[in-house]
Amino acid sequence: MDRLTNTIRPYAWGSTTAIAELIGVEPTGEPQAEMWMGAHPGAPSRTERGPLDEVIDEDPGHELGRATVAKFGPRLPFLLKILAAGAPLSLQVHPDLEQAREGYEDEESRGVPIDAPHRNYKDANHKPELICALTEFDGLCGFRAPVEAADLLAGLGVDSLKPYVDLLHAKPEEAALREVLTAVLTADPERMAATVTETTAAAERLGGAYAPYAGIAHHYPGDPGVIAAMLLNHVRLQPGEALFLGAGVPHAYLDGLGVEIMANSDNVLRCGLTPKHVDVPELLRIVRFEATDPGILRPEASPDGEEVYDTPIDEFRLSRFVLPEGAAPHALTTATPQILLCVSGSVRVGDAGELTPGQSVFVPADEKAEVSGEGTVFRATVMA
């Protein structure tokens, strides 16, 4: 097995302290948003044998296992991250597999450069994802019922929001959500900026349920995404709780530290809270306009002590072991590839030795592995 050296991505929304505190080093003063663990070509983990993507390319059958290669091809199907949000991420949505393939083929056929700012599809894969909170974690996930969104907007007492309130009351669910989001994202920029400014002042004054949106507006003044965000459920996760985000579900992370796992893809359609490209027609094709319960996940414990976060997809499986002092070793050998990540205490993983918070190892398929010690370790693998 291979100890991993991982890249920390310095995106502007990243916390300046959370990852440094987790791994026990002095903060640099710069944002540290994500630590990537995996074989994504954008920032592959490094091993003593070389970059993990190159290690896998040399012998995918051995590293991933034949069943994984047969099902997903010769690449690691997931990307594991530590995510540290110090400011809201962009409001976004991900395509399903068919939409991703269609979008990618269309942009390829039109010759849109892969690194073009207006490119939507960087690959032909979908991007379901799971975020598990390590600290209290705030986010937005899925649409509210239209009547709930209408009541939230109406409570601000902002006259320019009344047309949206009326639409939310007058139309069936799908039409109401679609028409209001479309109207918000296509409104005259100057008028919308004025609406957002007035909305922000009201949200700051009222507090309570409006406080998260006042905080968003502080980071993105005048952005129409502030109004769009109020159509979504606000969720506060406690440590150990998680959210699964499937295709078409609008979402954003606002604040907190968590472990995130996703299918190996970069496909994102943005709805706001960003200076980046927002492709409104394509976004409207991808979004599922239906009210949803965010569905907070709590791990299900198995007899051997593994706590599993159940999700409806096969590209990844996330679980954790919370190991008390003196616990017997847990055997982890499996026919699929694994990444093991320590987030607290000190754990020993086979011949890779001791792991402290923030340290991780890659375990090839069928390689004998066991974990022991005192602490918490996350296990990422696939359902092959």
List pLDDT tens digits, range 335-362. 999 999 999 999 999 888 899 999 999 9
150: confidence class by pLDDT, cuts 50, 70, 90: very high
pLDDT in the model for residue 132? 98
* Both structure tokens of 353: 């030795």
The two tokens of residue 74 are 């010769």
Residue with tokens 């034949």: 66
- Give the separation between CA 384 and CA 164, rounded to whole angstroms: 46
Residue 1: predicted pLDDT:
87
pLDDT value for 177: 98
Catalytic residue among 75, 144, 270, 317: 270
Q: Is the pLDDT confidence value at 220 over 80?
A: yes
Give the pLDDT confidence score for residue 192 in this predicted structure.
96
Please give the Cα distance from 282 to 35 (Å, whole number).
30
Question: How are beta strands 232-237 and 360-363 bridged, if at all?
Answer: unpaired
The H or E element that residue 46 is part of is strand 46-47
On the question of pLDDT at 55 being above 80, the answer is yes
CA 286, 292, 296, 299 torsion-angle sign: negative
For residue 384, pLDDT over 80 is answered with no
- Structural contact between residues 136 and 261, judged by C-beta atoms closer than 8 angstroms: no
If you average pLDDT over residues 199-205, what whole number do you get?
A: 97
Q: Give rounded-to-5 percent helix, strand, coil for the chain.
A: 30, 30, 40
**166 pLDDT tier (thresholds 50, 70, 90):** very high
Told to judge if 270 belongs to the known catalytic residues of this protein, a careful annotator would answer yes
- Tens digit of pLDDT for each residue in 77-99? 999 999 999 999 999 999 999 99
Which tokens sit at 209? 């349920």
Between CA 284 and CA 288 the distance in angstroms is: 8
346 burial type by CB count under 10 A (0-12 exposed, 13-18 middle, 19+ buried): middle
What pLDDT digit, counting tens, does each position of 108-139 carry?
A: 999 999 989 999 998 899 999 999 999 999 99
Task: Kindly state the tokens that stand for 339.
Answer: 């990444």
**Which tens digits make up the pLDDT trace of 307-316?**
999 999 999 9
Q: For residues 165 and 175, what is the distance between their CA atoms, to the nearest angstrom? A: 13
- At residue 304, the 3 state secondary structure works out as coil
How far is it, in rounded angstroms, from Cα 118 to Cα 11? 19
By percentage, how much of the chain surpasses pLDDT 70?
100
pLDDT in tens, 264-287: 888 999 989 988 888 999 999 999
Q: How far is CA 248 from the centre of its chain?
A: 13
Q: How confident is the model at residue 41 (pLDDT cuts 50, 70, 90)?
A: confident
> pLDDT value at position 110?
96
Average pLDDT over residues 216-245: 96
Q: What's the pTM value of the predicted model, to 2 decimals?
A: 0.94
In this prediction, residue 339 carries a pLDDT of 98
Task: Give pLDDT, residue 225.
Answer: 95
For the residues 247-255, what does the mean pLDDT come to? 96
Question: Which residues on neighbouring strands pair with residue 331, listed in sequence order?
Answer: 370
Residues 313/352, Cβ–Cβ less than 8 Å: no
Q: What is the mean pLDDT of the chain?
A: 95
User: How far apart are the C-alpha atoms of 305 and 14, rounded to whole Å?
Assistant: 33
* CA–CA gap between residue 85 and residue 358 (Å, rounded): 16
pLDDT at 302: 87
- The confidence score (pLDDT) of residue 353 equals 87
